[in-house]
Structure 1
Amino acid sequence: MSLKDRITEDMKAAMRAKDTGRLGTIRLLQAAVKQKEVDERVELDDAAVVGLVDKLIKQRRDSIDAFTKAGRQDLADKEAAEVQVLQAYLPARLSPGEVAAEVKALVAELGASGPGDMGKVMGAARQRLAGKAEMAQVSAAVKAALAG
């Protein structure tokens, strides 16, 4: 079953269970998928949907930070609940050690050395690790690998 089909089935289950919080988040995700498909006139595959989920989670985390700084814990809690629902659609994340190992392998493959190759390594890392690790974590691992 594709990820889009799973999202649709989860939406139906949330409707039956009358779980309005979960239903709202799933509908938001489905709308984002449809919007991207219409804008780009393509059928999204699972990898593209995972990328979209990653983007939505990053937006929610940024909102949580902003709401917390503004003293709006009620809104921060709502965003955190949405993050929990969205994370169910991501593949298992790599541990920091696994990310570092993948990055070291990429640096060796590309023959990269020094901070000037950061862009080249990040482009390849983004391809290989999309959905498997947060890009901020990958970026830190690339900086460490190129510095040492």
Structure 2
Amino acid sequence: MNLKQKITDDMKAAMRAGNTKQRDTIRLLQAAIKQKEVDERIELDDTAVVAVIERMLKQRKDSIEQYEAAQRHDLATAEKDEINILSVYMPKGFSDEEVDMLVNEAISAATAKGMQDMGKVMAILKPKLAGRADMGKVSALVKAKISV
């Protein structure tokens, strides 16, 4: 079963169960997926759906920071609930050791000698790690390893 089908099935289950928070969050997700498909005139595969979910999670994390800074804990709690619902659809993340191993392999594959090869290394890593690791941390790790 692909990810879009699982999301649709979960939407139906949430509607039957009367779980309005889950239903509304999944509707937002489906709308974002549909919008991307319409904008780009393509059918999204699981990887692209994960990218949409990742973007939605990042938006919610940013919102939580803003709400907590403004002492709006009720709104921050709502965003955290949405994060919990959306996180179910994300693939299992890599451990730090696995990320380190993949970075070393990518550096070897790209025969990276310095910062000028950073783009090559990241191009190798991005498809493998998308949605499964924080790409900001991965980028910092790659910089540290190839600038030595």
Whole-Å separation in 2 of the counterparts to 1:62 and 1:118: 27
Whole-Å separation in 1 of the counterparts to 2:113 and 2:64: 37
Whole-Å separation in 2 of the counterparts to 1:147 and 1:67: 38
Structure 1 residue 147: Cα displacement: 2.9
Give the structure 2 partner of residue 144 of structure 1.
144
Give the structure 1 partner of residue 41 of structure 2.
41
Give the structure 1 partner of residue 100 of structure 2.
100
With normalisation by structure 2, the TM-score equals 0.94
Whether 1:2 and 2:2 are equivalent positions in the alignment is: yes
Give the structure 1 partner of residue 88 of structure 2.
88
| 1:96–1:137 CA contact under 8 A, matched in 2 | no
Q: Which amino acid aligns with 2:118?
A: M
User: RMSD value over aligned CA atoms?
Assistant: 1.2
Identical positions, percent? 51
Give the structure 2 partner of residue 29 of structure 1.
29
Moved segments of 4+, more than 3 Å: none
Deviations 1:20-44 (A, max 9, x none): 1111110000000100111111010
For structure 1, the residue ranges without an aligned partner over 5 or more in a row are none
Whole-Å separation in 2 of the counterparts to 1:58 and 1:113: 33
Whole-Å separation in 2 of the counterparts to 1:95 and 1:58: 20
| 2:106–2:125 CA contact under 8 A, matched in 1 | yes
Give the structure 2 partner of residue 75 of structure 1.
75
Counterpart secondary structure, 2:25: helix
Structure 1 residue 88: Cα displacement: 0.5
User: How many matched pairs?
Assistant: 148
Whole-Å separation in 2 of the counterparts to 1:118 and 1:62: 27
